[in-house]
């Protein structure tokens, strides 16, 4: 399977129209598929991990005409395009798991709930070498699915791993209004049981992180001390005033580390359910976050990890999408960037958050510290530190060493 026909295959699976003018009719036809939904998970046959296994190729080496879409100014591959391909592939993997051969079209609407983690194993992605994506379902609940994918590239006579990605998808009814049951997973070996158990661990970790969110509970005692020390370091000792603040050496106020963008959401960027494609949102957020990091350090940063992308609500076609990027934490050679996206309704002027993205970048020398001034900025700082610490904890030490070595070449 080639990467380019993946979205066409998804359209066939759900019966989506390729013409925007026919989308209302296609949606109405999908509503009739509700009769084929299972009333409980017990009604559905168990599937194996092999049933959902997918391999897709991106022939950048053998098809030069394809390179234009993926090539960036630095003669490397646009990572935002890779995010789009990963999102499409994750959806296809989940449809492969739930596919019923007796039906021409799937009654399920499978959408991206979150990107749990994307870890980079190599810094360089060559624009003229073939890429291979592989993946399969690794965990299922009653209505949600975890899909794990690997991307490798053919170079010097062999495929080497470039990245590992974990996506969590949810199944909805044909009109995308309520949850729908999916096939249980049949485990066939101790290795598969270990993979499934890791999925359970991932789920538990996500629940714990959500429970401890700074939007819900106060910072820990250690975090409160850190923020107070940052505050003390910025006080003007000459004035003895809480209001008089001085920027420490080799530091930047957090207020000065922002970048914003706007996208008008056209039908061209729609998904198979006639909403804006999640991969497009990820690409735009990544590109703004990268530009923000680049402007902050004054050189080209390297992506280390993508972490905890949450899709809070779908983005409708015609929306005004506002993107806000913020460098929220730095440590050593690393930059933690948070991108917040929201939809603006021009008629009511109401703002609705749609996504939050977290990116970790690095460069080959030390980076200035970002310093918060307000309490809200302090919470952003702590949230960025939490995501950075989690990335450093889970990313293998050998991988970090490889990334640093390629930076120094």
High-pLDDT (> 70) share of the chain, %: 95
Mean pLDDT, range 279-306, rounded to an integer: 94
Mean pLDDT for 252-259 is 96
- Picking from 374, 344, 341, the residue whose alpha carbon sits closest to that of residue 358 is 341
0.95 exceeded by the pTM?
Answer: no
Residue the block writes with tokens 């989940």 = 94
Average pLDDT of the residues of the chain:
89
Q: Mean pLDDT, to the nearest integer, of 159-185? A: 93
Structural tokens at position 170: 């949810």
Q: What is the pLDDT of residue 408?
A: 35
Q: How far is CA 91 from CA 29, 85, 137, 203, in A?
A: 21, 10, 10, 19
Which of 14-18, 21-25, 240-244, 253-257 shows the lowest per-residue confidence on average (mean pLDDT)? 21-25
Q: Is the pLDDT of residue 127 over 90?
A: yes
Q: How confident is the model at residue 405 (pLDDT cuts 50, 70, 90)?
A: very low
Confidence band, pLDDT 50/70/90 cuts, at residue 21: low
Q: Which band of pLDDT confidence, cut at 50, 70 and 90, is reported for residue 409?
A: very low
Number of CB atoms found within 10 A of residue 121's CB: 18
> Cβ distance 10 to 88 under 8 Å?
yes
Contact 137, 94 (CB under 8 A): yes
CA angle 167, 6, 266 (to 5 degrees): 85
Is residue 161 pLDDT above 70, yes or no? yes
Say if residue 64's pLDDT is above 60: yes
Binned at pLDDT 50, 70 and 90, residue 271 comes out as: confident
Please check the confidence at residue 178 and state whether its pLDDT lies above 70. Answer: yes
| CB of 339 closer than 8 Å to CB of 319 | no
| Tokens 């949606």, located at residue | 27
What per-residue confidence (pLDDT) applies to 403?
46
Residue 9: the pLDDT is 86
Q: What angle do CA 220, 225, 229 make, to 5 degrees?
A: 150
Confidence check: pLDDT of 404 > 90:
no
pLDDT at position 406, please? 43
């Amino acid at each position: 399977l080639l990467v380019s026909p993946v979205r066409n295959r998804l359209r066939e699976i759900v019966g989506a129209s390729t013409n925007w003018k026919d989308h209302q009719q296609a949606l109405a036809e999908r509503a009739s598929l509700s009769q084929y939904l299972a009333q409980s998970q017990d009604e559905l046959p168990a599937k194996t991990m092999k049933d959902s296994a997918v391999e897709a190729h991106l022939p950048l080496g053998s098809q030069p005409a394809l390179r234009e879409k993926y090539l960036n100014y630095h003669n490397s591959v646009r990572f935002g395009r890779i995010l789009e391909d990963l999102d499409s592939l994750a959806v296809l993997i989940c449809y492969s798991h739930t596919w019923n051969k007796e039906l021409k079209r799937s009654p399920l609407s499978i959408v991206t709930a979150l990107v749990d983690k994307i870890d980079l194993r190599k810094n360089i992605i060559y624009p003229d070498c073939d890429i291979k994506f592989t993946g399969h379902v690794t965990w299922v609940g009653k209505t949600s699915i975890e899909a794990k994918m690997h991307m490798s590239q053919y170079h010097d006579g062999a495929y080497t791993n470039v990245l590992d990605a974990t996506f969590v998808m949810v199944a909805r009814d044909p009109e995308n209004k309520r949850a729908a049951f999916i096939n249980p997973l049949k485990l066939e070996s101790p290795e598969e049981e270990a993979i499934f158990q890791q999925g359970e661990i991932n789920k538990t970790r996500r629940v714990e992180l959500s429970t401890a969110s700074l939007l819900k509970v106060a910072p820990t005692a250690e975090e409160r001390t850190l923020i107070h020390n940052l505050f003390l370091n910025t006080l003007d000792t000459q004035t003895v005033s809480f209001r008089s603040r001085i920027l420490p050496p080799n530091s930047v106020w957090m207020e000065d580390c922002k970048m914003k963008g706007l996208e008008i959401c056209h039908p061209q960027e729609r998904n198979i359910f006639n909403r804006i494609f999640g991969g497009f949102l990820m690409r735009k957020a990544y590109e703004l976050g990268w530009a923000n990091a680049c402007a902050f350090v004054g050189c080209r940063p390297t992506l280390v990890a993508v972490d905890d992308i949450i899709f809070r609500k779908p983005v409708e076609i015609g929306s005004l999408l506002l993107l806000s990027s913020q460098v929220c934490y730095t440590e050593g050679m690393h930059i933690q960037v948070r991108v917040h996206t929201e939809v603006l309704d021009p008629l009511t002027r109401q703002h609705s958050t749609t996504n939050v993205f977290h990116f970790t970048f690095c460069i080959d020398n030390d980076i200035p510290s970002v310093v918060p001034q307000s309490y809200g900025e302090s919470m952003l700082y702590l949230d960025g530190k939490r995501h950075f610490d989690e990335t450093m904890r889970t990313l293998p030490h050998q991988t970090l060493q490889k990334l640093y070595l390629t930076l120094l070449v």
